[in-house]
Amino acid sequence: MTFAGYVLQQRGISILNEYNEELPGLSKDSENRDIIPSRPYIIVDTFGTPTGNLEPQWHDLTYEEVLKLGYVIVVRRGGWFAGQQVNYILMHKSKAGSERKMDRFPNKHYVKYDSANKIFKFMGRNVSPQGIALIKL
């Protein structure tokens, strides 16, 4: 769901077009994941609370689905600590449905520390110190 759709939902307002259809981007159906890639990135901290613009459905996505949408997971720090966090997120996701637990990222989806650092510099302060981010390539 887009931010506009979220705002409408919060205010209890509904909009339909001339054909009695819901407008794209304002759909209340949270299953409609095609909408998500409009966002260039969303930031998720260690405890699964997004600090980006909106809560919703990232927790429901599995890792494969995230990749399918063209996102990569970027961690702020290298080393085991970052790995732990990523595992946490993946475990969190596996609770939501998928049984599969990944212990390693495929290399092509892993952004190394240096470049990630640059990206975080670009993102600025809104990333929590233990932040993990999903970035669209």
Partner 1 sequence: MLARRDGRTYLISDQRYKRVNIQSNEIPFLISNDGFLVCIPIGKDMPIIGITASRRVGKTITLHSFKDRVYWYTNTGCIFISDYQNETKNYHLPNDSFLLELLKITKEKPIGLPKIHIYPNTNSLKEENLPPDSIKTSLPVLELIKYPESYFELKNSAMYLRNLYPKFEEINKNEGTISMENIENVINEHLAGNSMDKKVREGFENLKTKIIESFKDIASDGSLDIDLDLKERFGRVTTYLNVKKDGKEYWDYIFVGLVRAGLFPIFMTEDLLQKRKWENYISFIVNKIFNSIKNDKELKEKGLLLFIDEMERIFKKSRKKNAQRSIAGDSFVNIAKIGGPNRVGMIYTNLNYSELDDELISNTKYMIVLQHTSDKEVKLIQKDFTFEKRYVQTILNLKKLEAMAFTKEKFVKYNLITGEKVTDTEPVIGRILPPLSYPQPPGD
For binding to partner 1 (CB under 8 A), which residues are involved? 2-8, 11, 13-21, 23-26, 34-35, 37-40, 52-53, 122-126
Comparing CB distances to partner 1, the nearer of 80 and 122 is 122
* Sheet bearing 132-136, strands edge to edge: 41-44, 132-136, 71-75
Shortest CB 29 distance to partner 1, Å:
12
**Beta carbon nearer to partner 1, 45 or 90:** 45
Dihedral sign, Cα of residue 7, residue 9, residue 11, residue 17: positive
Min CB(95)–partner 1 separation in Å = 28
Instruction: Find the shortest distance in angstroms from Cβ 118 to partner 1.
Output: 13
Count of C-beta atoms within a 10 Å radius of residue 87: 15
DSSP 23: P
